[in-house]
Structure 1
């Protein structure tokens, strides 16, 4: 079994987030396709989720791991973004305003795919990709509920093909991004030695993306064009090389991998907060000094915030939260011996009825 983290995959995460940061902050033609960084994230996500599903004991265990992974940083970064917007509304771009109720509902809407169909504003514009991610997670969860864990890739391919040929080219959906997840899962299958399954998945991923291109499918979040198809092809190759040959990376790559480690909180906190900071500091777009601030100083400052979130919240919270979500009753039972040692009886019985006595406060 692979180690929990791959230096090669973390380096690709770093490239993805740097790509997105430059797109949002540096107004140069060379960085005008920053959403491609998000698409690379999707390929990486497909690769990682294939292993996560394989090692999950149940469907709920799989989803609990996803929630445990995503919620800690989302809660903190969403809170900080909302707080900054409410404290300094004059720095917020038009249409980006936020209320606390929107932040709270985001934490409910994303994991549940907004089942209540409530209109709300995301705390940050970058959160749109989380909506796509959770739709992918929910598909995997549903297939596992049906006992089809071993057929996840094949079923994802079938569903994507069906949705593609039955959906109007003018109606954009999460299906437009599923080829990237399929490509990532196919790489995982290839690494596992399931060559036929991997080749079939790659053929479906590349064919569906070319269909999007040929039919002129509309996708406002990440315009469908030849460059996007090239990103899919080269991104898939990059994930494979990173997964298979990460042991050959030079020592200095660990510095790049560190950025990949904090890439998730950095992604969550960067866009709207970064724009507010630029507005507050009156940083323009023309001088060399302005460009240096946009390209290096601001990303470094946001990375420092992301590192604090990772160290103080994300890293220590992921495993305990996952254990709690996966088995709340088991999590409570493990505390009973400690409660008893403090002088509180773990259980009291009256007849056939057992009652837990927990200390108040």
Structure 2
């Protein structure tokens, strides 16, 4: 049984409306392919006398059967309505960027697995609870996990990542946001991620200072636990040279350097690449729409509109770009007067003619 809700957003008499027209839960969906969902969507629209060809925009999640550019629902819609624009919720896209980061290397997966186990452990804890061997074993496992040097480095890396991503995420969820400002904040976040790349020594310094501070606190509390101050040196595993290979395997002997190359750089590069892939698709359309935002009218002058601007939105609307620019400049000049409500005259003169 599949469940799918269909919500229409439309404009009528200058008001934006949203209507839930179907909750496909009682329909027996035999297939979950993009084509099957598209046919279900088409059937529901036809029941309310609407055509798929009138769709100008659609938004689904990132599942392949919905977002696929060849066989996804959005692809089938574009085959019928060529001007249809597909987009994700941008705050959700940023979450997907973080998901990509958390799944790119094993040390990061281990950190979030440790976080999950720790949350479960404390959620099942009660005051004066008797500790059996299983609980003691789990506690020792968690202590060992949180005192590992690798865990601490990854934790500080994600502190920096969340410091960059959180303000952007909060703004993307703001009602009535400035889309141009949102795009700028995404670009700034990408730039900040890129600037993290040469900052690995700073990350190590922060982690070492934290370790020293916590160890001092643990000594004062007479706690036997101690945080690792460096990577433990392990036997270097070398891969056997296979037939036809010219270069021998040369693993990094320094574990700290290995972490920098195989974890730190990979996480940062994944963040930058995910932002590029997920946010760049409708970038030109968003830039064009920013010119149509009344909050930007005071900043618009004819020489401030680049030659390549407004082409995307003009193509979607089927209008001439030059004419659109001309009408935009004229409209923004008259907008202050147009937005004022007409007022009744303060005085009235009545003339009575002789009969």
TM-score w.r.t. the length of structure 1 is 0.26
Q: Using CA pairs under 8 Å that are at least 6 residues apart, name the structure with larger relative contact order, 1 or 2.
A: 1
Which structure carries more strand by proportion?
2
How high is the TM-score relative to the length of structure 2? 0.26
Larger Rg: 2
